A and B are shown apart, each in its own frame.
Chain A
Amino acid sequence: MSTTITLTINGIEQPVAVELGESLLEVLRREGFTSVKHGCDTGDCGACAVLLDGDAIDSCMILAVAADGRAITTVEGLETDGRLHPLQEAMIDAGAVQCGFCTPGTVMSGIDLLSRNADPTEDDVKAALAGNLCRCTGYVKQVDAVLAAARVMKGGPDVGSG
């Protein structure tokens, strides 16, 4: 059975036709938001993480209908005025992007952390990324990237270069 819900995806409110049993992940990928990756379907890997009303969630673990009327941010919505989000830039600069499959989900969890804690410790970052599995990096450069982004977002780009 299908129905139509309203989702605000990356700031654009739109009607979306969904099946009642469909996950938000399936709907977002079908709508072309390919940054939202499909890694496990059980909420364990975090590759499908998006922001739902500002909080990072695994989009495979929520029915699309449960997101009716709510705001979703994916990596596609992070670029402003042709500039990447500081965390995306930090991930690239730190060498934290290897295969890149987990990168979008990891970025969303990092942004969630930075929205709550502008000055995280290394342990804060590790805890925030606990739900985003990465098999390539050993997390070292991912953690560095989140810490670097925090510096940039706090003090402007110049502070982060030190």
Chain B
Amino acid sequence: MSDPVDSQGFAVVGHNEPKVDAYALATGKPVFAGDVNHDDALHIAFLASKHAHARIASIDTSRAEALDGVALVLTHENTPATMYTTAGQGYPEPSPYDTRMFNPTVRFVGDRVAAVAAETPEIAHAATKLIDVTYEALPAVLSIDEALAPDAPIIHGEETATGIHDAAHNIVSVVNVDIGDVEAGIADSAVVVDTTCETQYAQHVPIEPHVVQAYLDNDGRLVLLTSTQVPFHVRRIVARVLDLPVHRIRVIKPRVGGGFGAKQEILLENVTGLVTLRTGRRAIAELSRPEEFVSSRTRHPMRVRVRLGAREDGTLRAVDMEVISNTGAYGSHGLTVMSNAGSKTLPLYNRAPDVRYHGRTVYTNLPVGGAYRGYGATQGYFALETAMDELAAKLGMDPVEVRRLNHIRVGETSPIFAAIGEGKPGVEQTVGSCELERCLDIGAEEIGWADKRGMRYRDGPWVHGVGMSIHMQGSGIADVDMGAATIKMNDDGSFNLLIGATDLGTGSDTILGQIAAEVLGVPLAKIVVYSSDTDMTPFDVGAYASSTTYVSGNAVRRAAEEVRAQIVAVASAMLEEDPDGISLDDQHAIGASGERVSLEEIALRSLYGTDQQQIGATASFVGDESPPPFLASFAEVAVDVETGQVRVLDYVAVADCGVAINPHAAEGQVEGAIANGIGYALTEEMLFSSHGRVRNPTLFDYKIPAAPDLPRIRAILVDSYEPTGPMGAKSVAEIGINAPIPTIANAIYDAVGVRLKNSPFTAERVLAALDAAT
């Protein structure tokens, strides 16, 4: 809410600095990829499949090409057949290569059949209707159970696909981890719960849909101005698909209007780039809102079964999680999202000696899963935290106390950290910071847990209840994610900070600038931040896996420390003092004697005077661990027992994210993630026809929370310090979204005594559960 106590003595870090891009955004400057207006641009429209599964027997584009104003029509017949994954992951991507730019077999309603580039959007759309396609319909698979049926139609039978675990049985990926003997552990337990929860198809809904502009620079290189979370992965993957050398492509990420994982995907860049290469013209592609829902990416729906065995005192004896994830028509992030359902949840409860995680990901002929904030943990926590609540009920214990007995603490580890990674084994780590106990204390106090739990306060048809859950996530992918930063000093003692880290609206440009400013002893205004341009900035994997603050932040810290050492060396010569006694503060180098020399004087001497040099440095960082942030979540809900409607009356989310580099920004991450999660818990659901068509691809029919739908979400950050983090920081962007589904489910149980195990908890589902219970 306000500047917290400055416990670490930082001058810039820990303060609510206004975002470095806030002025441009608040004044509507043309900072987004779609804001650059060019009369000569070609506009791209897509033809989507109306079939859930069909072979394209023939495709005739002649009538479309003949339409006045049409420049180019692209189909599978005139585009590269290179197999790749659209997942914007590091190399080699742990997702199967199971798609082409345009596939000769379409695999869901909304799959891409053709693209038209024309002088106006209207002509391009009109031309898509003139493409004559003959489909040979194939049997479709429209659920997890149909995908796993013994005689199920095969969705990826093409010989060119690679990296699929068992294509003949529609299984994309499998992870099996057995620690100890879980069956023996369950048998040895005094109390056992066995619960299965299912999550729905949901979409990210960034308010800015995917948008890309492509053009050739004066040297004929392809420039992609794109709303992406992964500019360097875009460059690498587009280069491969279009058979261009990497150095012939420049990817520029302007401001991004929200991503949430949807833009960790190469969807439009290859098509837009190919239009520009073929025509020599600037081209723009922008998804419509219905296309964003259907043809971009979604959250993998999952069926998660959790069995918990506990001793009589409530400590866990055995934990078993079994996951089936539905990746839809293509396997983007199919392995890793499923892996995270276990790897980001099970270490939280490290008391049990016997732990098992078995996961599978299956293909269906439905829209494609992808990265979505929470990345599998969200789905896993629904079942895990529902099961923990059931365990508490069976033991007759307070749900808070059962968590207290079992959660991981500082100095402890879990075998799951090493057992499950992302496409390879994980990394052993010991928790270096964990303030969950205080998070629980504060959350319980703020929500009024002791006074409200089990009271079932009634107001007409509305019955009140409180629920809670706890969570962890990670800070980047250990041993995989790399970020780099370059800092150079200017004449006036200011600095350019060049980072590949990809601010998608989170404020990472600002907090990375704050880290540099802190080390260099200058105000944030003296750091000119420029991010995510593959020609201009060093490499960074991009914005995903809660990596930026920790991974990119540590790279910035290192680069700034190297620059500081160079400045101190110059100051030492100027002040004729020992460098060890020199500190940087208030835009000056200050010697042990108290003598000062300004950074401007140091810069001018270095650039124009003695021992001339550019003061500057580039540094990289790869985490050898992934410190988890922690969260305790509490909600008070009211359930209308006559209609089944659920209202969230109060929400308290208490987070340990280490030192919050910018408290406003960190709170904003928690508030936004909780809001997104409340929508996921109560209203957001893609509905399908019996033929696999999305029935509600609009913001009218797919309901995300608006301001009046939400309580005032109370995000509270506890004091914490992560020893390996930059200035003590960990990540915070994803963790909040995991909380609302189990927290609200548990609050509904407290209110009316029924367990909701299929999200979202619509009035219909709640009423059906109430009816079934009576």
Interface, chain A (partner B; CB < 8 A): 29-30, 32-42, 44-45, 47, 74-76, 78-79, 84, 88, 91-95, 97-104, 107, 122-123, 125-127, 129-143
Contact = CB atoms under 8 A, between A and B. Distances in A.
B91 interface: no
A45 B699 contact: yes
Contacts of A92: 18-19, 22-23, 26
A100 B257 contact: yes
Contacts of A95: 16, 18-19, 662, 664-665, 667-668
13 contacts: A30-B37, A32-B37, A42-B289, A42-B699, A44-B700, A92-B18, A97-B26, A101-B208, A135-B672, A135-B676, A137-B672, A138-B668, A141-B671
A136 to B, nearest CB: 5
Nearest to A94: B664
A41 B707 contact: no
Contacts of A137: 668, 671-672, 675
Given A37-B257, A93-B18, A122-B712, 8 more contacts: A40-B289, A41-B289, A75-B26, A84-B23, A99-B505, A133-B207, A134-B672, A138-B675
B681 to A, nearest CB: 14
B157 interface: no
Contacts, number: 183
A44 B37 CA distance: 24
Contacts of A93: 18
B257 A141 contact: no
Contact of A136 (B34, B672, B708, B715): B672
Interface residues of B, number: 58
Nearest to A99: B505
A52 B345 CA distance: 50
B205 A135 contact: yes
Contacts of A37: 32, 207-208, 257
Contact of B258 (A84, A94, A99, A122): A99
Interface of B is mostly: loop
A84 B25 CA distance: 12
Contacts of B19: 92, 95, 97
B557 interface: no
A18 B505 CA distance: 34
B207 A44 contact: no
Given A99-B504, A137-B671, A42 B698 contact: yes
Contact of B207 (A42, A99, A123, A131): A99
Given A135-B206, A135-B207, A99 B699 contact: no
Nearest to B289: A40
Interface string B462-476: 000000000000000
B27 A84 contact: yes
Q: Which of A36, A44, A93 has the most CB of B within 10 A?
A: A44
Interface in B11-30: 16, 18-19, 21-30
A100 B255 contact: yes
A92 B30 CA distance: 18
Nearest to A77: B28
Contact of A107 (B18, B26, B665, B674): B26
Given A42-B289, A98-B507, A136 B668 contact: yes
* 4 nearest CB pairs, A to B: A35-B28, A99-B505, A100-B25, A95-B664
B664 A101 contact: no
B764 interface: no
B706 interface: yes
